[in-house]
Amino acid sequence: MPSNLQSAETQAVGLHRWVWPALAAPGLTWLLLLFIVPFYAVLAVAMGDLDPIFLKPVPEWNPLRWDVSAFGDVLSDLFGGQLGTIALRTLAYVVSACAVCVVVGYPVAYFVARKVVRHKGLWLLGLLAPFWINYLMRMLAWVNLLGSDGLVNKIITSLGGAPVDWLSGRHSTVILGLAYGYIPFFVLPLYAALDRIDPAVMEAARDLGASPGQAFRRVTLPLSKQGVLAGLVLIMLPMFGDYYTPNLLSGSPRTRMIGNQIDQFINQTSSQGGRGAALTLILMVLVAVFMLYYLFNIARVTEEARE
Amino acid sequence: MTVRGAISNPWGRPRLLRLVTLAYIVWSMVPVLIAVQFSFNAGRSRSTWQGFSLRWYLTDAASVARDESLTLALAQSIRLAVLTMLIATPIGVAMAIGLARWRGPGARPAGFLMLVPLVTPEIVMGVALFLVFANLYDFVRFGTPAQLLGHVTFSISFVVIIVRGRLFAIGRDYEEAAMDLGASPREAIRRVLLPLLSPAIMASFAIVFAISIDDFVISQFLAGGADSITIPVRLYAGARLAPPPSLNALASILLLATLCSVSAAGLVLRRYSNRERDGRGALDSLTRLDV
């Protein structure tokens, strides 16, 4: 009898082993074919050739025959060419927009997480709502407001000022647009991190003689550092690849970002496909640090939840 | 009350913080609300209010109902979102169950692969899918087929994240009890695990619908002809050309569709997390705050 039981159990365990990977298989196959293979295609196009007649990039699937000349072109353009200016501008935009997000977003997240006593759900809804309003619609709203006959210019002229051309090549418009677009994604992880801090820790700091300012600087601020980092990573990843915000809010070469260059290489001039692919790979390498930070964080939390 | 107030609020009344937060919410909401308001304008202006009317939704020649480019965009967005939801959710649910219970040597890399799409910038994924459909899978037509494959690819991981949160909460006890009582693994999954997961599955349907209908970059990179332009792509194409308020009307319809599906997901998730006194799980999975 006991031996029977045992064999039934081993059978069940044997079935388990087979069942779980089988359930994951369709999803894994999908990601293999439509996520991993596409990345190989980017490599193959970046290392490939240009068809001299049709002026179309020809991918090279065999790594032994890879030609790195497209990379050479892009890299030399990046160090000392026009692309270098675009990359530096992208960096400056992202850093400025992130600074706006921290300065505006921290007090907001802090207030809702730590200071609101009544109607917390309502305040939270205020933070959550823009998260689910389409990005393009939020930009469209600003195009409406900032247009030459938009509300903003109407207010300025009614006060006696001269109308401002907000939407052609202004760095400040693009930076504020980026900040406006991505700040909800920064505020929410920060809110979660601040909300997780045990109020008892703050009370302890106060009981031990810290002034409110000291308690904030030496307890709350360090404890919320992870949340700030997570929020920044979350908004930097899409910002570095953004092309629609500068296109909608300025549309001028003066505000061109790396994303605009990729969009142009891939979508508008097919002969530049190889360069577009190479630039995409370079962008990926540049943001790889943020991707890995985020990835390892989620993986760690998952392992903890699984235990 | 005063003691509780003093403990939760040791800095006195944070008037300034409250003001900043209110200003932030106004700043984030008012431009959008104005855009919605002018979709109901009786005139052609998007900055001077000329009375309430539904002409930009229904009757004008340039309205959502009568301008073909707007009607097609609405239809394409809904078609893509529904199909993506129907394909990505089952694949993602199966993958979540598999990854949560699988303890073999391949489990860790598989879990890692599932996470990578979540952290990949959309433009990178857009370029990669564009190039693979142009050069390798050239039997896939740009337009609906390519867009659908792309949308499912970025949606699967969201489903896995939502469902596995619930799986970890349930634990393995129920399905093991079912198998001890003689159920095969298949029966245990179908008759015990899936009913327990149903709130998370419902929420996944709604969230996938929302992220698919909201997507811009992948839809644009993989678009084919005029019949594969989605609402966000149409907004992008039309925003700078001094469009009539019907573009605002189209955006408002998109807003309504997204908010409905997200509230549905929120309600379902809240109902079961309240029961378990854990509100954070729902918020986390809704906002990808798993960090």
Residue A261 lies inside a defined structural domain of this protein: yes
From A32, A38, A237, residue closest to B131, measured CB to CB: A38
* Average pLDDT value over all residues in chain A: 87
Grouping H, G, I as helix, E, B as strand and the rest as coil, residue B287 is helix
Percentage of chain A modeled with pLDDT above 70: 94
From A228's Cα to the closest Cα of chain B, the distance in A is: 11
SS (H, E, C) chain A: CHHHHHHHHHHHHHHHHHHHHHHHHHHHHHHHHHHHHHHHHHHHHHCCEECCCCCCEECCCCHHHCCCHHHHHHHHHHCCCHHHHHHHHHHHHHHHHHHHHHHHHHHHHHHHHHHCCCCHHHHHHHHHHHHHCCHHHHHHHHHHHHCCCCHHHHHHHHCCCCCCCCCCCCHHHHHHHHHHHHHHHHHHHHHHHHHHCCHHHHHHHHHCCCCHHHHHHHHHHHHCHHHHHHHHHHHHHHHHCCCHHHHHHCCCHHHCCHHHHHHHHHHHCHHHHHHHHHHHHHHHHHHHHHHHHHHHHHHHHHHHHHC
Residue A202 lies inside a defined structural domain of this protein: yes
Show Cβ contacts of residue A190 under 8 Å, excluding neighbours closer than 6 positions.
A105, A106, A109, A224, A227, A228, A230, A231
Burial degree of A304 (CB within 10 A; 0-12, 13-18, 19+): exposed
pLDDT of B250 above 90:
yes
Residue A207 lies inside a defined structural domain of this protein: yes
- Alpha carbons B144 and B180: distance in angstroms, whole number: 47
Give the number of other Cβ atoms within 10 Å of residue B26's Cβ: 12
Give the residue with greater pLDDT, A299 vs A44: A44
From A55's Cα to the closest Cα of chain B, the distance in A is: 14
CATH of the domain at A155: 1.10.3720.10
Q: Which among A51, A74, A133 is the top mutation candidate for probing chain B, defined by the most B β-carbons within 10 Å of its own β-carbon?
A: A133
From A117, A145, A302, residue closest to B5, measured CB to CB: A117
B248 to A140: CB separation less than 8 angstroms, yes or no: yes
Chain B neighbors of A242, CB-CB under 8 A: 123
- A195: domain range? 81-268
B148 neighbors B222 (Cβ within 8 angstroms): no
- Alpha carbons A39 and B130: distance in angstroms, whole number: 11
Residue A99 lies inside a defined structural domain of this protein: yes
Residue A241 lies inside a defined structural domain of this protein: yes
Chain B neighbors of A31, CB-CB under 8 A: 113-114, 117, 153, 156
Residue A276 lies inside a defined structural domain of this protein: no
The whole-number pLDDT of residue A37 equals 96
Residue A74 lies inside a defined structural domain of this protein: no
The whole-number pLDDT of residue A13 equals 54
The neighbouring-strand residues paired with A50 are: A57
Show Cβ contacts of residue A142 under 8 Å, excluding neighbours closer than 6 positions.
A177, A180, A249, B31
Tens of pLDDT along B26-67? 999 999 999 999 999 999 888 889 999 999 999 888 899 999
Tokens of A229: 């980092």
**What is the greatest pairwise CA distance in chain B?**
71
A163 neighbors A148 (Cβ within 8 angstroms): yes
- Alpha carbons A293 and A287: distance in angstroms, whole number: 10
Tens of pLDDT along B1-33? 344 444 455 455 678 889 999 999 999 999 999
What is the pTM assigned to this prediction? 0.88
Show Cβ contacts of residue A139 under 8 Å, excluding neighbours closer than 6 positions.
A177, A181, A244, A245, A248, A249, B239
Give the residue with greater pLDDT, A271 vs A150: A150
Domains in chain B, start-ordered, CATH in brackets? Answer: 71-287 (1.10.3720.10)
From A80's Cα to the closest Cα of chain B, the distance in A is: 24
Tokens of B15: 């008037």
Q: In Å, how far are A225, B7, B165 from A190, measured between CA atoms?
A: 9, 22, 20
Tens of pLDDT along A97-138? 999 999 999 999 999 998 888 888 888 888 888 888 999 999
Q: How many domains, in total, are found in chain A?
A: 1
Tens of pLDDT along B187-228? 888 888 898 899 899 989 999 999 999 999 999 999 998 889
A305 to B10: CB separation less than 8 angstroms, yes or no: no
Grouping H, G, I as helix, E, B as strand and the rest as coil, residue B52 is strand
Percentage of chain A modeled with pLDDT above 90: 42
* B289 at A interface, C-beta within 8 A: yes
Residue A302 lies inside a defined structural domain of this protein: no
From B46, B94, B106, residue closest to A144, measured CB to CB: B46
